[in-house]
Amino acid sequence: MRGGFDLIAQGMGGIMHLTGEPDGPPISVGLPICDLGTGMWAVQGILAALYERQRTGVGRLVECSLLETAIGFSSWTSAQWLTDHEEPARQGSRHRQNAPYQRMKTKDGYLMVGAAGQAIWARCAKALGRPEWCEDPRFATNEQRMQNRAALETEMEAVLTTATSDHWVEVLEGPACPAARSTITRSYSPTRRSAPAASCNTRATRIWAKCRTSAPRSRSTRVCACAASPPNSASTTPRSSAASG
């Protein structure tokens, strides 16, 4: 049995082959996705085993591996290979089936634009002041946008680089075109814990926890903030009971 390391699993499982720019080398995901994902699969297996024990009285042995996690995450890229024997290529931040659904350059950084559907694309073009893009034979349909993606990126970035990412987030979110600034400091800053998550259109909530850390060979400790597990649950009173009370 081989030792398990996230980086090795990303390489063996094909994740690194799919990550990076088309003309660049394979790149590992910025987070230990195989380590984290294997833990998530393990929890699902444990919960299923507990339910099976409760139902039948028989326990289960739950096994997970980093490599199987990497392969399991491959989704349609592995399906493409198994069906057509066509080797998937790196696309950077670009979506493999929709455009524009990717990173775009702005005046002060980068913006994620999620105009994945035709209706959203129409709202996006209008919000950017270019409604004529919807009639442009290069960009009118998703198929045409995929075929002319380089030209689409050039046209869109010519507009987006005239203002900041924050400006364009406000402009695009108004007409309901998903957009987000590429950042980590705003997401993790303790002074902004509730801000952008509270207004996120996915209704995600950010949970923070405090932990104590000790320096090696030292009795001193300090409290630091860290991101806790996202799931949240609370007991609720059935409506019938609440009404009767």
pTM of the model: 0.74
Return the pLDDT at 212: 45
Q: What number is the average pLDDT over the span 81-90?
A: 86
Which residues are part of the catalytic machinery?
35
Instruction: Output the DSSP codes for 66-102.
Output: HHHHHHHTTHHHHHHHHHH-PPP---TT--SS-SSEE
> For 219-235, what is the mean pLDDT?
56
Strand, coil or helix: what is 136? Answer: coil
Here the tokens at position 179 are: 């957009």
| Cα R_g (the chain), whole angstroms | 23
Instruction: Answer for the pair 94, 66: CB distance below 8 angstroms, yes or no.
Output: no
Residue 232: strand, helix, or coil: coil
Instruction: Detail the DSSP E strand segments found in the chain.
Output: 101-105, 110-114, 179-181, 208-214, 221-227
Average pLDDT over residues 89-113: 95
Q: Are 62 and 49 in contact (CB under 8 A)?
A: yes
What's the average model confidence in pLDDT over 168-180? 91
Q: How far is the C-alpha of 147 from the C-alpha of 132, rounded, in Å?
A: 18
For residues 86 and 80, the answer to whether their CB atoms sit within 8 Å is: yes
Provide the CATH number for the domain formed by 101-181 in this structure: 3.30.1540.10
Sign of the four-CA dihedral 136, 142, 143, 147: positive
Partnered with residue 27 across adjacent β-strands are: none
pLDDT at 38 over 60: yes
d(CA 144, CA 156): 15
The overall average pLDDT reported for the chain is: 83
**Residues 126, 130, 133, 139, Cα dihedral to 10°:** -80
Boundaries of every domain in the chain:
6-84, 101-181, 193-227
Distance between CA atoms of residues 129 and 197, nearest Å: 28
Q: State yes or no: pLDDT of 207 exceeds 90.
A: no
User: Omega of the bond prior to 88 within 30 degrees of 0, cis?
Assistant: no
Among 44-58, 178-192, 223-237, the range scoring the smallest mean pLDDT is 223-237
Which tens digits make up the pLDDT trace of 131-154? 999 999 999 999 999 999 999 999
Whether 96 and 76 have beta carbons less than 8 Å apart is answered as: yes
pLDDT value at residue 231: 61
pLDDT-derived band at 87, boundaries 50, 70, 90: confident
Burial of 10 (0-12, 13-18, 19+ CB in 10 A): buried
Kindly state the average pLDDT of the residues 46-60. 94
Do residues 104 and 163 make contact, with C-beta atoms less than 8 angstroms apart? no
In this structure, are residues 37 and 73 in contact, taking their beta carbons and an 8 Å threshold?
yes
Residue 123's pLDDT is 96
